[in-house]
Structure 1
Amino acid sequence: MALALTFRTSHTLVRMRLAAFRHALEDQFRRSWIVTGGFVGLVLASGTLWLAARGDHDVLVVVLAVWMLGWVVGPLFAGGGDETLRPEYFTMMPLPPRTLSTGLLVAALAGVAPVISLIALLSLIVVSGGVAAAVVAVPALLLQLLCFVLASRLAVAVYGVLLQLRSGAVIAALVNAFILAFTAQGWALIVAFVSADVQGTVAKAARIAPSGWGLVAVEAAGRGDWLELLAALAGLVVLAVVMLLAWSALLVRRTTATHTGRTPRRLLAARTPEGAAAAKELRSWTRDLLYGHRAVFAIAYGLFFCLMPLAIGLKSMLPWAGPAAVVMAGSMAANLYGADGTAYWTTLMTPGANRPDVRARQRAFLLVFGPSTLLITVLLTWWSGVTSAWPLVLSVLPALLGGAAGLVVACSVYAAVPTTDAHKRSGNPLNSGENEGETMGIVYVMLVLVATTCAPALVVALYFGWWGVPVGVLSGVLAWWYFGRVAARRLDARGPELLTLLRHGRSPAEQAKKTAGLEALPKWRRTLAGFCLGFGAIPLFPQAVVPAVFKLTGNHDTKSWFLALYQDGPWQWVVIALMGALGLSMYAFGGLTYYRARKRAPGVPGAVVAG
């Protein structure tokens, strides 16, 4: 009976998952993300098969470890992964926890990512080199795929538990920031802590990790070592069972735990509307665990990103930890009103509250990130000993703080994305609704917008030294004042429409209007625009901004994968300028394509299209 119930539940959930996937493909924006991600995944899977065909087992086992790492950390950067079927949807059904978790696991296998990973794991058959090893490779790759998916689900569940505790949210933010910084600066740690035998050392560690047990089984079958073969396969089975049981237990906690409110330790004592709004916003940053998580993540990312090169004795990036944290903080706070959700009605129903609310959000942002990033900048610049960096960083930092404080409110008003209300969040706090792709798109755009606000101050500091500091302060104040004024006026004029959007989301007619202009464009142009928006950061930041920082701070030793630093003399600046222009052009082309498509979309006839 239990087996039959599990089978029927799994079958039903798979059908629901596939139906939801077909529905997602009807949305142009989500379809473009799915197609782009699928294409990139296929390229990576093909590269894995090509490496397997070369017969280098040491490289292959490291690549498989990267695949498993991607399954574990990927959902942490993508809003908790794909939770089309949330466990909360089935709490009223008489399903045992293990039956529900097994059904959700099987449904999770019915997706694009598992299929792509399955293609990559076919590399175990490619390297088998014999009939016996090929036969063993089939169950090995299936068990390996099962462990990949289970590790992803379990990581999200554990992460969700951490985010429900204040200390856990801080720990999760630190881990998250370290992983993201490692993807960009991990080369320094690898060079420092791995000896000349890089491949051999990493391969040994990768074979010990669960991601390498499938390959270990195939290699053992090729040698005729049946004891090691059985141990590797049994290890995968035991690991899968343990992870499934742990995930089931966390699902029970997620769907049955109750959260009781706490009596405020200190009541609001403000006497003016501005003071009350500021106190409310400051408490949001200190009490809302997602707010706190994002704040710690932004600051920790700036620190990790600039501290990792210390492993090879490189101190020239230390002064830029504070500015990097501000840029990341601005991008993470780009949807403040969307995060509030329907709570915005309290502001809307209070006459004259829009302007104080906007200014309070700006002041709270500056109070949260201003002192901390200034302290980080001063201490690390002093530690680095790079005296030429002082006028640069002290010019850039106030410009970035003011620009970010202005842009976060303007962006969250003009480009608000509906998310799940705080009191309706699921047991997975990472998942904030059905618009994760749109939210991530705004984050990427804000990274560029916030970074560009320091351009005038940086140029003046480069040519006139300390005169860049007053320019940075002035530009920061102007950006804070102007964008805040624009946001407040927008709320006064379109506040009810914003509340309707946050409460009900976009109507079918609005969705159709949003995509009608894109549908009219040639497919190649839509694909190219999505590609430019997704990959414009590669030439702009790693190939232009970072090499420019290296040259400005006097670092002439580190070359890594920065193309410009392999050139001679003035050609370095030429390559930096070309890469920067390429990145900005990609963003401009993608952004203008989507903007013009929306402008060309029909107005009232959009309802006809939706029907």
Structure 2
Amino acid sequence: MVALLVGLKLTLLRNSLRRSTWRTVGLVLAAVYALGVVAAVYAGLVALRWTSTATTGQVTVPVYAGLTLGWLMLSLLVFGVDETVDPARFALLPVRARDLVPGLLAAALVGVPGVATALVALGLVVTWARTPVLAVAALVAAVLGTLTCVLLSRTATSAFAAFLSSRRFRDVAAVLLALVGAFVGVGANLLGRAASAQDPAALPGLLAGVAAVAAWSPFGWAWAVPADVARGAWGSAAAHLVLAAALVLGLGAAWTRVLGRRLVEPTLGGTGGGRVVAAGRIERLFPADAAGAVAVRCLRYWRRDPRHVTLLASYLIAPVVLVVTLGAGSADVTTFTVFAPCVLAFVVGTGLAQDLCFDGSAVWTHLSAGVAGVDDRRGRVLATLALFGPLMVVVHLLTALLSGGWAFVPAAVGLSAALALGGLGVGAWVGAVWQWPTPSPGDSPFQRGSSGGLPALASAGAVLLGTTLAGLPPLALLLGGLFWRPWLGWVALPVGVLVGVVVLRVGIVRGGRLLDRKWPEVLSAVSERAA
């Protein structure tokens, strides 16, 4: 079964690469990046061989514990799990979960993240191979640590996927996970400040304390074994070894149980029957034309589609993290939190660029109804402005009240207007250039590929670059008002609005014309997953 599932994974991977040039390029770039990271890690591990065993343990245990935590957090919040060999597809076959787990575990290691993690884990042997006993302890730790990384991420994502079988639970979980990401970012920033404020002579003691906490956390049980052996703490080494082995067995049993449920109750697409509602307040917000109809539908998606809810929650994270981070600084720095809403304005356009991809095969309704590209672009812009416009106003008022920097509000609003409107204009054009398949609304939100891979990365990069260029004129006036003539800050307001409106108009028109020429190609691109 192990050889069969690994072979199936390789076959599916090869076929997907043949079907899409973007995936081939993305895989090559990911492999090159992972190789660079592995080389850097090995360089550091070799350098640690020339330090004391105490220093080596204090460095490796927290770092490798962070690797395990990273597998869990990144699987849930960012990358998802590679479901190339989806367990739900075995639901109609006479196979049990305990027979699938070894093969699925091996298949999970076939890929860039799995191979890179295994190589990094084996690097532990390089730095600890100072005696035969330490080499064996490091090898055992590498095996148990790698299994913990994979099993922890697989069990967590599989459990969440089963839990999120209803739309309401998916929405709540998406928001909670985004908040967890925010707390992690804020906590890391505050810890970094606390460490930099420490006396350099006290840093070894601080590092030893962090290593001790990491060693007795579930993320560091396996990685602490060679450090315990090196300092002759055989009791701690035995305890960590037993705990790490028990954790691997427990995660394996939990994953088997979750897979058993998926084999009889697969989590497949389909969100249930919808219902037609009468026209209400939402419809009256927009004009009674094709663009208005697109705007109404998109606004409903922002409220009902868990992918949009996740995106909205992630957008709200950046200003919160910036406000909290700056708020922890001096009073002079706190004044500039009035510019925190500009971070939200900076990323709004990236959502519009991928909005068409979220429609999936439903794009055929636009083709059959003869919706013009300009109406599609304008409708999506109207929906985004209806959602983020009031939000931006509220956030600007709150940050001004909290910081007291009312003198900077005109410049901040002008910069936000240029970034938001300009970003939407760039996103309207970029969204017509690049499309990619995304998971359906009823699919697991933790599937790999939900981020779109290289096309999505190129799309976001292009939007952010164009947004930056649109924000340069009001930014220059803002800086001029801060360091030269204060009245230039007031000029940034009308200039930002004007620049944003011009870029928005150009993006809608050009993006609409491009869609009119390539609607069939767009339908094919966003429907690839369904095929």
Give the TM-score band, short-chain normalised.
0.7 to 0.9
User: 1:239 pairs with 247, 262, 267, which one?
Assistant: 247
Change (3 A) 1:455 1:223: closer
CA shift digits 1:484-504 (9 cap, x unpaired): 122222222322332233335
1:451 aligns with 2:468: yes
Q: Report how far residue 457 of structure 1 moved.
A: 1.5
Q: Which residue of 1 aligns with 2:324?
A: 307
Segment of structure 1 superposing worse, 465-474 or 485-494: 485-494
Q: Which amino acid aligns with 1:357?
A: D
Change (3 A) 1:343 1:246: same
Whether the 8 Å contact between 2:349 and 2:427 is mirrored in structure 1 is: yes
Q: Which residue of 2 aligns with 1:280?
A: 297
TM-score (norm 1): 0.73
Whether the 8 Å contact between 1:400 and 1:454 is mirrored in structure 2 is: yes
Segment of structure 1 superposing worse, 293-302 or 493-502: 493-502
Whether the 8 Å contact between 1:370 and 1:401 is mirrored in structure 2 is: no
User: 1:336 pairs with 327, 338, 355, which one?
Assistant: 355
Alignment of 1:394-433 (within 5 A): 394-422=413-441, 425=443, 427-432=444-449
User: Partners in 1 of 2:408 and 2:115 — Cα distance?
Assistant: 49
Whether the 8 Å contact between 1:98 and 1:248 is mirrored in structure 2 is: yes
Q: Report how far residue 36 of structure 1 moved.
A: 2.3
Q: Which residue of 2 aligns with 1:598?
A: none
Change (3 A) 1:138 1:432: closer
User: Partners in 1 of 2:44 and 2:222 — Cα distance?
Assistant: 15
1:292 aligns with 2:316: no
Whether the 8 Å contact between 1:381 and 1:390 is mirrored in structure 2 is: yes
Whether the 8 Å contact between 2:349 and 2:425 is mirrored in structure 1 is: no
User: Partners in 1 of 2:111 and 2:209 — Cα distance?
Assistant: 34
Q: Which residue of 2 aligns with 1:15?
A: 7
Change (3 A) 1:221 1:306: same
Segment of structure 1 superposing worse, 428-437 or 461-470: 428-437
Q: Which runs of 5+ in 1 are unaligned?
A: 1-8, 508-611
Q: Report how far residue 223 of structure 1 moved.
A: 4.5
Which structure has more relative contact order (CA 8 Å, sep 6+)? It is 2
User: Partners in 1 of 2:25 and 2:454 — Cα distance?
Assistant: 8
User: 2:278 pairs with 260, 267, 284, which one?
Assistant: 267
Segment of structure 1 superposing worse, 286-295 or 202-211: 202-211
Counting aligned pairs with the same residue, the percent is 26
Q: Report how far residue 293 of structure 1 moved.
A: 0.8
User: Partners in 1 of 2:219 and 2:522 — Cα distance?
Assistant: 47
Change (3 A) 1:329 1:434: closer
Alignment of 1:159-558 (within 5 A): 159-160=160-161, 161=163, 165-179=170-184, 187-188=192-193, 197-254=205-262, 256-257=265-266, 261=272, 263-264=274-275, 266-269=277-280, 270=283, 272-273=288-289, 274-313=291-330, 314-386=333-405, 389-422=408-441, 425=443, 427-432=444-449, 435-463=452-480, 464-504=488-528
Change (3 A) 1:124 1:434: closer
TM-score (norm 2): 0.84
Q: Report how far residue 398 of structure 1 moved.
A: 0.9
Change (3 A) 1:68 1:35: same
Q: Report how far residue 186 of structure 1 moved.
A: 6.1
User: Partners in 1 of 2:242 and 2:325 — Cα distance?
Assistant: 38
Q: Report how far residue 236 of structure 1 moved.
A: 0.9
User: Partners in 2 of 1:485 and 1:15 — Cα distance?
Assistant: 48
User: Partners in 1 of 2:198 and 2:175 — Cα distance?
Assistant: 27
Change (3 A) 1:181 1:301: farther
Whether the 8 Å contact between 1:298 and 1:326 is mirrored in structure 2 is: no
Q: Which amino acid aligns with 1:165?
A: R
Whether the 8 Å contact between 1:76 and 1:430 is mirrored in structure 2 is: no
Change (3 A) 1:501 1:119: closer
Q: Report how far residue 453 of structure 1 moved.
A: 1.8
Q: Which amino acid aligns with 2:178?
A: A
Q: Report how far residue 29 of structure 1 moved.
A: 1.1
SS in 2 for 1:80: coil
Whether the 8 Å contact between 2:151 and 2:248 is mirrored in structure 1 is: yes
SS in 2 for 1:444: helix
Whether the 8 Å contact between 2:319 and 2:344 is mirrored in structure 1 is: yes
Q: Which runs of 5+ in 2 are unaligned?
A: 481-487
User: Partners in 1 of 2:416 and 2:10 — Cα distance?
Assistant: 48
Q: Report how far residue 441 of structure 1 moved.
A: 3.0
Q: Which amino acid aligns with 1:267?
A: A
SS in 1 for 2:221: helix
Q: Report how far residue 209 of structure 1 moved.
A: 2.1
Change (3 A) 1:48 1:316: farther
Segment of structure 1 superposing worse, 339-348 or 329-338: 329-338
Q: Report how far residue 63 of structure 1 moved.
A: 1.5
